[in-house]
Chain A
Amino acid sequence: MNKLRLLLLALPFLFASCSNDDDNKPSLKITGHYVLNYGSYSATVGSLSYIDLENNTVQNGAYESANGVSMSGKPQYAYEYKGNIYFMGNAKDEIFHVSADDLTQTQNGVAEDIIKPRFCVGNGDYLYISCWGGDIWAPENREKSYIAKYNINTNTVEKKIMLPDGPEGLAIVDNTLYCTLNYTNKIAMVNLNTEKITYIEDLPAVSTYFIKDNSNNLYVSLVSSYTDGVIELIKEPGLGYINTSTNELEANYKFEGISGLYSSVLAFNTDKSKLYVVGGSYGANGYSGGIYSFNTNSKTFDETPFVDNISGINGVYYNITSNLIYVMISQSTTTNGLLKTYDTEGNIIEEYATGISPGWIVDVTK
């Protein structure tokens, strides 16, 4: 059966065609990095694209190849944990998982107590999953959002920890679950022993994602919002820094154009001396996006963008093995996205076509 699955996985790779792979041998390698493509509401479901750096290709449709069917919806996020890849499926709303070894799905997704899942983080036998619980953008629904405590052994939601105002990105430090909130200027902290919730308040903007530094402190994207009732809370978007010992916002490094997209907008380099941040601005030629490099020692942004003038920039990722920076680009919801790779000097190395709306990288090399 496993051989059959391997063969199924390999088949499309034999026929796959990308801009640079015509002369390359097919690859059966199933560890490495996958691009998570969200898809689009009207044009397709989500998908995975395998980045084969050895053969200099990106092979699209990896999930379909392994399972013979398309994904059941559009994954907001995917997370490798304990041998599986867990997907936060949207429309339809469910958590489903595949084997990180061969991408096969053998169990149906779990929809009970899962409404608009966003992001997750693992701790022991549990995933903590941020869920919007409904149409969070409507003020009357702000109370519906929650954190789902999902048991990965029983594949059930054991508990819903109600957390209003749209939890998004999550991080765990010292048994505390830090939760960004997308519809208020606070960050929530859930004590995982007592499940008591406290807040860091009066942030200068709303928050979306964390990234943990070498001191277990958290950088956080503090972004703009145009939602009625929330826009008034936006004072100064930027890159925040949370001291997890004091649970205070220690600093906010102003960055007006920091990306508010729900995708991988923060990425550290190998030694975490540089933090790559997705951002952009609106100018005479429309929106122009780029990657901005933040020096974590000097606590300053580099004067010039790492790369700029990228239309439709969606996410960034740093490959610590190859020291390549992946830039994910989505210009349209009906056509393929792009994955552009750069060296640490900002020179473009290669460009690959991905599925629709690439947003995250799933690392299965660990």
Chain B
Amino acid sequence: MYIKLGICLVIIGLYSFQLFGQDTFSEEESLFLAGLDTVYIDNVDVVSKKINLYEVGGKKETFTPMQKQTTEAGNLSDLISRYQPIYVKSDAGGLSSIRVRGTSDNHTSVKLRGLEINSQTLGSYNSSNAPVFLFDQVELTYGSSTATKGSGSIGGNVNLGLENKYNAGVNSEVKLSAGSFGEYMAGAKVFASNGKFESISRLAYYEKENNFPFTNTSSYDFEKQEFTRDTQKNARIENLNFIQQLNYRWNKDKSISSVIWLAKNRHEGQPNMNENQNPNTRYLEDENIRTWVQFDNITNGINYYIGAGYVFDNAIDYNNKAQKIATQRIIAETGASKEYNKISVKAGMRNVYIKPDVYAYDDNIDENRFSVFASLLYKPSPWLKTTLNLRQQVVTEFSAPFTPSLGFDARLWYNSQSIISVLGSLQRAYRIPTLNDRFWGQDGYTGNKNISPEDATSYELGFNYLYALDDKWVANAKINAFYMDVDNWLMWIQGTNGWYAENIAHVISNGVEFSGSLTRNYGQHKTTLGGNFSYNSAERKKSELETDKLNEQIEYVPIYNGNLYMQHQYKKWDVGIDGSYVGERKYNQVGGKLDAFKLINLSCAYNMNINKNKLTISANINNLLSEEYQNQYNYAMPEINYRIGINYTF
């Protein structure tokens, strides 16, 4: 009985981690739930794993290999908006921001190992700049996780995963693709290792002319009495990213890993529909150097690590290098953890020194952000685990709140084929105002050094269901309810002599998310059907502005958002169809709304084995119904478009 149960649970775990991409039910979790923690399943070393151990009670999602492959020639926004019920506010490729659970773009932190990728001046990250091809996995945390991840993770967190494989030998992968509107992508990865030393190089180049046709609803021809048919101008994208990992492993307990990510992403600021005929081109360029080195060691059962990083971010607007917007960061972190029978503990500290070089700041500004944090995982029985995370940050001349979080994950019921579990969390979260919010000083725009951090409290409750019948049927379903209360919401508001930052609003966001999938294996066929749906109410409850509309849905938060996908594998063929729906969104508080839209995409891939190498030829049709839609007010988006690609692994 228990052997059969164990096999089923292993299958569930593998499917959930590798196929459904939902690591809340990773193999470790499933085995833990079943009390079968003596079974070992080899797995890649995803760096976020140590953090995840203490993040219990929240919702996490990853992506299936086919989902990732389908969007590999694109960027992080493409991947998330297509397969998750998360709203990505974007134009047609150059600029986009992830908005999780009704929060703003600077409430989602994007991380690569020990580094926060978000701009320190703006607070947000342009997710159009992250090529999906470069990363081995992308992991999403829904909801607050400040206690484990630090300032800014109020709405959610995106973790860009890089694997350390240590597979002896040399492996390479090359990807080329071409698409509509002058889109070309070229990427390469080289893995080289002797089992102890490892070098992984990753390169991605992407360009797109972005000259797609659209109906310009902001240009009405009064003489012809119709809207103008237009072609998008000045929206070219050109992104170049290179990641190098160098790792050394003395043994399975002792290793040093390093990563450097060099990025030069340049795009023309897509003109909105009103300004599409404006001949002026606005170039926006981001140069980034991101490095992280970490030493890990286990001695006497204590796992300790020490890491250090350096980040240089430089944003160039209009080719105007004189008006510099640059920041440098030096990051250091150390911590230790130990696992006992029922208890695991971790503690550490982190310091980030920030030195901005921004033309609109005073010259003498710098900042230290020091944090101490501790985590406790307690497993009182095989069916229950609980966590407590604590963090206190100290910021130069700024007061940051103490941030605790509590979480639990409990098995409610199981039999030989199914598990039902319940999870929940209570978190406090915050966001330190950006450097711009506090230090910007320019004609008509003034930062405010006296503002407070945004302060949030989040509650979450979820139920998970897993089902596996041998390897024929595998199904899962999740439902999560959340409630988030964000106070001191920051805005820039207009004064008599210009704009300034102020704590303005109190926002409550709550909702329900559902996700599920079903996989059927029969003969040489494998079919997966899945979907996600979210209902999200996000309203201002209080505001310092008398003209703000209270108790109404805030801008750019769709109440309804969802997607469905079906993937079918037969012999060497992979085919898929997916559709996403984004509900109506307000773009202002005076009745302006963007229409709901649905996008349907087709994908097809043929896999060939050539000796021991693998060649994949793929084709995609995006926006099959040629839907005219907007993700951001007044910014055109492409109608039907195509992409073909080849991928060669050797």
Q: Which residues of A contact B (CB under 8 A)?
A: 40, 42-45, 60, 67, 69-70, 72-73, 91-93, 105-108, 111, 134-135, 137-138, 224-227, 257, 259-261, 278-282, 286-289, 311-314, 329-338, 353, 355-356
In the assembled complex, B497 has its CB within 8 A of some CB on chain A: yes
Q: List 17 A-B contacts (CB under 8 A).
A: A43-B592, A44-B590, A91-B272, A106-B222, A108-B221, A226-B443, A227-B443, A261-B496, A289-B495, A289-B496, A332-B493, A332-B545, A332-B547, A334-B588, A335-B588, A335-B589, A355-B590
Q: Interface-forming stretch among B40-48, B273-281, B567-575, B610-618? A: B273-281
CB-contacts of B603-650 with A (<8 A): 633-634
CB-contacts of B260-302 with A (<8 A): 272, 274-275, 277-278, 280
Assess whether B443 is in contact with A356, with CB atoms less than 8 Å apart. no
A286 contacts which chain B residues (CB < 8 A)? 495, 500, 502
B221 contacts which chain A residues (CB < 8 A)? 108
Highest count of chain A CB atoms <10 Å: which of B220, B498, B548: B220
Contact with A along B558-600 (1 / 0, CB 8 A): 0000000000000000000000000000011110100000000
User: If the complex has contacts A312-B493, A330-B494, are A335 and B548 also in contact, measured as CB distance less than 8 A?
Assistant: yes
- Kindly report which residue of chain A lies nearest to residue B555, judged by CB atoms: A334
In the assembled complex, B168 has its CB within 8 A of some CB on chain A: no
CB-contacts of B423-451 with A (<8 A): 441-444
When chains A and B are docked, how far (Å) is the Cα of A40 from the Cα of B280?
20
A226-B444, A288-B496, A355-B590 given. 15 additional CB < 8 A pairs?
Answer: A43-B555, A72-B218, A108-B221, A137-B443, A257-B496, A260-B498, A287-B495, A311-B493, A311-B546, A312-B493, A312-B545, A312-B547, A331-B547, A335-B589, A335-B590
When chains A and B are docked, how far (Å) is the Cα of A93 from the Cα of B278?
8
By secondary structure, the B interface counts as loop
Shortest B269–chain A CB gap in Å is: 12
- Kindly report which residue of chain A lies nearest to residue B588, judged by CB atoms: A43
Shortest B273–chain A CB gap in Å is: 9
Shortest A60–chain B CB gap in Å is: 7
B320 contacts which chain A residues (CB < 8 A)? 138
Highest count of chain A CB atoms <10 Å: which of B441, B491, B494: B494
Shortest B413–chain A CB gap in Å is: 47
Assess whether B443 is in contact with A92, with CB atoms less than 8 Å apart. no
- Kindly report which residue of chain A lies nearest to residue B491, judged by CB atoms: A332
By secondary structure, the A interface counts as loop
B541 contacts which chain A residues (CB < 8 A)? none
Assess whether B443 is in contact with A225, with CB atoms less than 8 Å apart. yes
When chains A and B are docked, how far (Å) is the Cα of A227 from the Cα of B445?
11
Shortest B538–chain A CB gap in Å is: 14
A224 contacts which chain B residues (CB < 8 A)? 497
When chains A and B are docked, how far (Å) is the Cα of A200 from the Cα of B277?
38
Assess whether A280 is in contact with B588, with CB atoms less than 8 Å apart. no
A313 contacts which chain B residues (CB < 8 A)? 496
Assess whether B548 is in contact with A312, with CB atoms less than 8 Å apart. no
Shortest A68–chain B CB gap in Å is: 9
- Kindly report which residue of chain A lies nearest to residue B220, judged by CB atoms: A69
Shortest A113–chain B CB gap in Å is: 13
When chains A and B are docked, how far (Å) is the Cα of A70 from the Cα of B587?
15
A108 contacts which chain B residues (CB < 8 A)? 221-223
A281 contacts which chain B residues (CB < 8 A)? 496
- Kindly report which residue of chain A lies nearest to residue B323, judged by CB atoms: A138
A107 contacts which chain B residues (CB < 8 A)? 222-223
In the assembled complex, B219 has its CB within 8 A of some CB on chain A: yes
- Kindly report which residue of chain B lies nearest to residue A137, judged by CB atoms: B443
In the assembled complex, B549 has its CB within 8 A of some CB on chain A: yes
User: If the complex has contacts A92-B277, A224-B497, A333-B494, are A44 and B633 also in contact, measured as CB distance less than 8 A?
Assistant: yes
* Chain B residues with a Cβ closer than 8 Å to the other chain, count: 40
When chains A and B are docked, how far (Å) is the Cα of A138 from the Cα of B280?
14
A279 contacts which chain B residues (CB < 8 A)? 496
Of B280, B443, B494, B592, which one neighbours A332 at CB under 8 angstroms? B494
Shortest A298–chain B CB gap in Å is: 25
Assess whether A282 is in contact with B495, with CB atoms less than 8 Å apart. yes
A331 contacts which chain B residues (CB < 8 A)? 493-494, 545-548
Shortest A45–chain B CB gap in Å is: 7
When chains A and B are docked, how far (Å) is the Cα of A338 from the Cα of B320?
38
A312 contacts which chain B residues (CB < 8 A)? 493-495, 545, 547
A45 contacts which chain B residues (CB < 8 A)? 218, 274, 634
Assess whether A338 is in contact with B274, with CB atoms less than 8 Å apart. no
CB-contacts of B494-538 with A (<8 A): 494-498, 500, 502
Contact with A along B1-35 (1 / 0, CB 8 A): 00000000000000000000000000000000000
Shortest B262–chain A CB gap in Å is: 30
User: If the complex has contacts A107-B223, A334-B588, A335-B547, are A257 and B493 also in contact, measured as CB distance less than 8 A?
Assistant: no
A92 contacts which chain B residues (CB < 8 A)? 218-219, 274-275, 277-278
Contact with A along B79-119 (1 / 0, CB 8 A): 00000000000000000000000000000000000000000
Of B219, B220, B498, B545, which one neighbours A311 at CB under 8 angstroms? B545
Shortest B407–chain A CB gap in Å is: 35
Assess whether B547 is in contact with A260, with CB atoms less than 8 Å apart. no
- Kindly report which residue of chain B lies nearest to residue A231, judged by CB atoms: B443
A73 contacts which chain B residues (CB < 8 A)? 218, 274-275
A329 contacts which chain B residues (CB < 8 A)? 547
B272 contacts which chain A residues (CB < 8 A)? 91
Assess whether A356 is in contact with B494, with CB atoms less than 8 Å apart. no
When chains A and B are docked, how far (Å) is the Cα of A261 from the Cα of B493?
14
B546 contacts which chain A residues (CB < 8 A)? 311, 331, 338
B280 contacts which chain A residues (CB < 8 A)? 134
Assess whether B495 is in contact with A356, with CB atoms less than 8 Å apart. no
Assess whether A72 is in contact with B219, with CB atoms less than 8 Å apart. yes
Shortest A117–chain B CB gap in Å is: 14
Shortest B631–chain A CB gap in Å is: 13
User: If the complex has contacts A44-B587, A44-B633, A111-B277, are A336 and B500 also in contact, measured as CB distance less than 8 A?
Assistant: no
When chains A and B are docked, how far (Å) is the Cα of A105 from the Cα of B497?
34
When chains A and B are docked, how far (Å) is the Cα of A137 from the Cα of B278?
18
- Kindly report which residue of chain A lies nearest to residue B223, judged by CB atoms: A108
- Kindly report which residue of chain B lies nearest to residue A43, judged by CB atoms: B588
When chains A and B are docked, how far (Å) is the Cα of A267 from the Cα of B613?
79
- Kindly report which residue of chain B lies nearest to residue A74, judged by CB atoms: B274
A225 contacts which chain B residues (CB < 8 A)? 443
CB-contacts of B225-281 with A (<8 A): 272, 274-275, 277-278, 280
B633 contacts which chain A residues (CB < 8 A)? 42-44
Shortest B551–chain A CB gap in Å is: 13
Highest count of chain A CB atoms <10 Å: which of B441, B443, B547: B547
B547 contacts which chain A residues (CB < 8 A)? 312, 329, 331-332, 335-338, 353
- Kindly report which residue of chain B lies nearest to residue A289, judged by CB atoms: B496
- Kindly report which residue of chain B lies nearest to residue A69, judged by CB atoms: B220
When chains A and B are docked, how far (Å) is the Cα of A134 from the Cα of B502?
31
When chains A and B are docked, how far (Å) is the Cα of A122 from the Cα of B634?
33
Assess whether B496 is in contact with A280, with CB atoms less than 8 Å apart. yes
Shortest B47–chain A CB gap in Å is: 37
When chains A and B are docked, how far (Å) is the Cα of A134 from the Cα of B280?
9
A261 contacts which chain B residues (CB < 8 A)? 496-497
When chains A and B are docked, how far (Å) is the Cα of A134 from the Cα of B495?
26
User: If the complex has contacts A60-B590, A91-B275, A105-B222, are A311 and B548 also in contact, measured as CB distance less than 8 A?
Assistant: no
- Kindly report which residue of chain B lies nearest to residue A336, judged by CB atoms: B590
Contact with A along B154-184 (1 / 0, CB 8 A): 0000000000000000000000000000000
When chains A and B are docked, how far (Å) is the Cα of A225 from the Cα of B223?
42
